[in-house]
Amino acid sequence: MREGVTSTRLGLRGMPAAAESVCVARDVQLAELTGGRLHVAHPFRERIARPGALGQIARLSVTCEVTPHHFTLIDEDVQYDSRFKMNPPLASREDREALIAGLADGAVDVIATDHAPHEPALKDVEFDRAPFGILGFETAIALTLEQLVHTGKISLMRMVELFTTGPARVLSKERKLAAGQPADVTLFSTTHEWKYNVNDSPSKSRNSPFDGGRSRARQWRRSSPEKSSSSDNRPAFCLVCI
């Protein structure tokens, strides 16, 4: 839980925002010192929501990712319910807007699901005792379409880039769809009315704050071939709108 008014109201120990920004600033400086590459996993604070942009200014190899739950929810949405416990914790409205701006202007490289399933017995405890993390895989596309594409904050092609070629660039991997090559393809709809019911999930976990939520989007099917052991024959990843 992020330190602030909501953590005080709920009686929860808060994590100060500086704990995140100090760590990222340190790591960027170490990347500059060593000449190494740095990828920042889901930053969630206005001052550090653009580590890639900061790295570009300093001519460093710095990239970052954000998650659908961090650009959908804020600290004011948190209830005394461990399904809202994640790391980094949900932060302010201003922090969320900074993430969305970074997704739109290219400062953010990747949307990552941060999929963290936990068995119900581990999450069904007091907030402070529960592990961090929520389900992210099944709702990632729907939340991105509903929160970013349908609202006009990013284009559909930008969304596809953030899920496909963006991660490939971070990992220095080439991905393409071509005749005779294996492909990892996801089919989705941008208009299908969908209500997420976590109890219908194929996952054995149920830790999602989006249970019961509705969206005009749905992932229909993912087709993935067996991965080849050859480094030159890796499957591509593509999102296909229907």
C-alpha distances in angstroms, 117 versus 99, 114, 131, 132? 24, 10, 10, 10
C-alpha distances in angstroms, 204 versus 86, 115, 132, 201, 222? 19, 13, 17, 8, 19
Long-range CB pairs of 45-48 (<8 Å, 24+ gap) are 45/17, 45/20, 45/21, 45/88, 45/91, 45/95, 45/98, 46/92, 46/94, 46/95, 46/97, 46/98, 47/21, 48/20, 48/21, 48/24
Q: Give the type of residue at 108.
A: V
| Residues annotated as catalytic (active site), given as ranges | 114
Whole-angstrom distance, CA of residue 157 vs CA of residue 162: 9
